Amino acid sequence: MSLLKLPNFPCPKCYDRTGVIDSRPKFEQRLVWRRRRCVACRFTFTTTEKAVEEKGGKSVRA
Ligand SMILES: [Zn+2]
């Protein structure tokens, strides 16, 4: 299983790869908060992940 393999998020400064250094669920806001650090310039920043509500709860026809 590779469910814990997170997609990479580019550094806002130099667009290099970043690693997650901390992760916290925020249940009351229904999102996940992640602290990230760039592997190249060591810039640290925060991202949040949230489910997008889909209209009608059905998949859209292609
Ligand atoms: Zn960077």
Residue 53: its pLDDT value, please? 82
CA of 40 to the centre of ligand 1 (A): 5
Q: What is the pLDDT of residues 11-50, one digit of tens each?
A: 999 999 999 999 999 999 999 999 999 999 999 999 999 9
Residue 25: its pLDDT value, please? 96
CA distances from 57 to 29, 50, 51 (A): 20, 16, 12
CA of 24 to the centre of ligand 1 (A): 22
Residue 56: its pLDDT value, please? 73
CA of 37 to the centre of ligand 1 (A): 8
Residue 27: its pLDDT value, please? 93
DSSP state of 37: E
- Rounded distance, CA 62 to CA 32, Å? 29
| Adjacent-strand bridge partners of 38 | 18
pLDDT over 50 (residue 60): yes
